[in-house]
């Protein structure tokens, strides 16, 4: 993990593009997914929807990783993790674990009992599924052929 990381939670005007660029740079997500990730910051900044973020930046503002999450509507105790991504050169450094831990602590501080994450069963998401397992999540549900034939939606949950 980089020695000097600035942690922040408030979205800034440059974040939608930084998020889209980081997500695209991972090589895991499609162009459409990278665009959607950035749009969550856009809608938060313009007030049409709101999401919570945890940003990890280097001095000078280079985004190294982020999470996007929020309380699940109508739930008093459950949060959804919509996105977690770190720059490719940060894979294996512990940055993703630190982002996850900070996100989980924040959700717990808001009376959260559960953090849910969903991902695809396709091979490019194998690292994500392994990461969730290493982070203490358990597989809670699997919906076969959800995204496309042969592509299941896999839901993980973490007890906070």
Kindly list the domain boundaries of the chain, sorted by start residue. 6-159
Q: Assign residue 56 a region: left if phi > 0, alpha if psi is -120 to 50, beta otherwise?
A: beta
Q: Which tokens go with 25?
A: 């740079």
What's the maximum distance between 2 C-alpha atoms anywhere in the chain? Answer: 44
Pick the CATH number of 6-159 from 2.60.120.430, 3.40.50.261, 3.40.630.30, 3.20.20.370: 3.40.630.30
Work out the burial of residue 84: count CB atoms within 10 Å of its CB; fewer than 13 is exposed, 13-18 middle, 19 or more buried: buried
Can you give the pTM of this predicted structure? 0.92
Helix axes 31-46, 15-25, angle to 10 degrees: 160
Query: Can you give the pLDDT of all 160 residues of the chain as single tens digits?
Result: 556 899 999 999 999 999 999 999 998 888 999 999 999 999 999 999 999 999 999 988 899 999 999 999 999 999 999 999 999 999 999 999 999 999 999 999 999 999 999 999 999 899 999 999 999 999 999 999 999 999 999 999 999 9
Whether 72 and 80 have beta carbons less than 8 Å apart is answered as: yes
- Give the residue among 14, 121, 125 at the shortest CA–CA distance from 61: 14
> What was the pLDDT predicted at 149?
97
């Amino acid at each position: 993990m980089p020695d000097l990381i600035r942690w922040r939670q408030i979205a800034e005007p440059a974040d939608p593009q930084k998020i889209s660029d980081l997500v695209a740079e991972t090589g895991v997500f499609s162009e459409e997914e990278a665009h959607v990730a950035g749009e969550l910051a856009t809608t938060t900044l313009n007030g049409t929807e709101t999401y919570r973020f945890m940003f990890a930046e280097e001095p000078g503002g280079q985004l190294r990783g982020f999470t996007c999450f929020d309380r699940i509507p109508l739930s008093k105790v459950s949060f959804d993790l919509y996105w977690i991504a770190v720059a490719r050169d940060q894979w294996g450094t512990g940055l993703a674990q630190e982002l996850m831990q900070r996100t989980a602590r924040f959700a717990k501080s808001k009376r959260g009992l559960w953090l849910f994450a969903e991902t695809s069963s396709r091979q490019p998401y194998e690292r994500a599924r392994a990461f969730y397992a290493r982070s203490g999540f358990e597989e809670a549900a699997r919906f076969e052929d959800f995204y496309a034939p042969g592509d299941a939606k896999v839901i993980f949950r973490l007890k906070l």
